[in-house]
Chains A and B, each alone.
Chain A
Amino acid sequence: MLSLIRTIWNVFLHSFHRRVTIQYPDEKPYLTPRTRGRIILSRDPDGGERCVACHLCSAVCPVDCIALQATEDESGRRYPEFFRINFSRCIFCGLCEDACPTYAIQLTPDFEMSEYNRQNLVYEKEDLLISGPGKYPGYNFWRVSGVQIGGKDKGEAENEAPPTDVYRLTP
């Protein structure tokens, strides 16, 4: 009997507690930077596309919502000819971000992507590309990789030693 009255009293005390509801459209909840929302393609600090069109993201995507076509520019850099994400299929699992070797594809805290027309949820490369480096400032894949491209020979990347000449005996 006493415990019942105590229960009633404790529930009554909740009149003076703060309400936990966040009234969403009026006040936005804080979303952490790692929230898995709308997918973007980032650029490196020099302004070039980070994506090297390796197809890892589209291979790992469990719902097959990423489609892209690889091509190469005159300096030998690989880049996607088109890059298409169908957000009506995307489940925002973040596996593409995990798979990406160049930090190009990233998930952002934006989730407000409602559309009346399903077709509008298919994002092309122009819609996906942002102007900045996203969550990884300062990283430039082409400058740290050993791949040879126009304007950068083998051994000229950051933290890279010149290649060994296999035809010489001296160390």
Chain B
Amino acid sequence: MTTPHPIASIVGVLIVALSLSAFLIWVERRLLALWQDRYGPNRVGPFGLLQVLADMIKIFTKEDWIPPFADKPAFVIAPAIIMVTVLMSFAVLPIAPGIMVSDLNIGLLFFLGMSSLGVYSIVLAGWASGNKYSLLGGLRAAAQMISYEVFMGLSLMGVVLLAGTFNLTSIVEAQRGLWYVIPQFLGFVLFLIAGVAEARRLPFDLPEAEAELVAGFHSEYSGMKFGMFFVGEYLGITLISSMIAVLFLGGWTGPWLPPIVWFLIKVFAFLCLFILLRASLPRLRFDQLMSLGWKVMFPLALANLLVTGAIVLAKK
């Protein structure tokens, strides 16, 4: 099997990831509309597909305003961090055999590390804005990330124990017989919930809770900087969905269809689930979020790890 040139894969993954996340904006609006018995954007182009393009033109031509009370360097760099960290995680994502940027043997750890770094973007943005609501959003993001990062990592350790490796390609290969969603169902549910929190999506979008905090950490952002937060959020959803597909649903494996199609089908199913969650669930209160994380999810993840470890040991 021929592997494409590294540069070609990097460019390919970048283009696909960025255009997919832009396309997601349209998908989300249409699906939300479907579940609310509306139509959503359907005027610009066929099925409103060009709405994304119109929005992009709008956002590029908007005034890029930096408030005078903001901490300018941090304010400018914050939106870049989220894009960089999320796109870096795509580097270790095994899309199909041969189609990946870097087959890192600690790919899973790299993903966890990069998604933790992403929170710096939010905290910096909230702090540099010099706005109390943004700061509150940033603080919430920090607390939320730390709480949910812990059991996000722990919930994946069951998969690592079963596969015996941190390499994502090997994890996919290890699922040839049985997808890990069955033996690791609890881990799957925990990772899904942690992933929603990690992507800061409803019902865990406390950092930007528009009902309480205007728009949270990105209240002061406009133009393309806001666009980068926006695209970063959608990239984050795509990343979490891809990781769920890779870690629990056997990545590209599946009968009849080519591997890449299977991968995209699985990712798209989880993207739709993310949007469905947004359409149906109300936002949690902040103390509920914290107690859910530390009192329910964290012990469950520990128990899952303990039981999986015991079973793996007993089988040896």
Contacts and interface: CB of A to CB of B under 8 A. Distances in A.
Interface stretch (B36-44, B57-65, B238-246): B36-44
A4 to B, nearest CB: 7
B280 A19 contact: no
A12 B276 contact: yes
Q: Is the interface of A mostly helix, strand, loop or mixed?
A: helix
Contacts of B35: 11-12, 14-15
Contacts of A12: 35, 276, 280
A8 B33 CA distance: 15
B39 A7 contact: no
B37 A20 contact: yes
Nearest to B203: A4
A14 B281 contact: no
Residues of A in contact with B, size category: 10 to 19
B37 A4 contact: no
B150 interface: no
Interface in B265-287: 276-277, 279-281
B34 interface: yes
B39 A11 contact: no
B280 A7 contact: yes
Contacts of A7: 280-281
A14 B36 contact: yes
Contacts of B38: 19-21
Interface residues of B, number: 12
B277 to A, nearest CB: 7
B37 A17 contact: yes
A8 B35 CA distance: 10
A28 interface: no
A19 B37 contact: yes
Contacts of B279: 11
B39 A19 contact: yes
B37 A8 contact: no
Nearest to A14: B35
Contacts of B39: 19, 21, 23
A18 interface: yes
Nearest to B35: A14
Contacts of A17: 37
Interface of B: 33-39, 276-277, 279-281
Please give me the 8 A-B residue pairs with the lowest Cβ-Cβ distance, nearest first: A11-B280, A8-B280, A14-B35, A20-B37, A21-B39, A19-B37, A7-B280, A21-B38
Given A8-B277, A20-B37, 8 more contacts: A4-B281, A7-B280, A8-B276, A10-B280, A11-B276, A11-B280, A12-B276, A14-B36
26 contacts: A4-B281, A7-B280, A7-B281, A8-B277, A8-B281, A10-B280, A11-B276, A11-B279, A12-B35, A12-B276, A12-B280, A14-B34, A14-B35, A14-B36, A14-B37, A15-B35, A17-B37, A18-B37, A19-B33, A19-B34, A19-B39, A20-B37, A20-B38, A21-B37, A21-B38, A23-B39
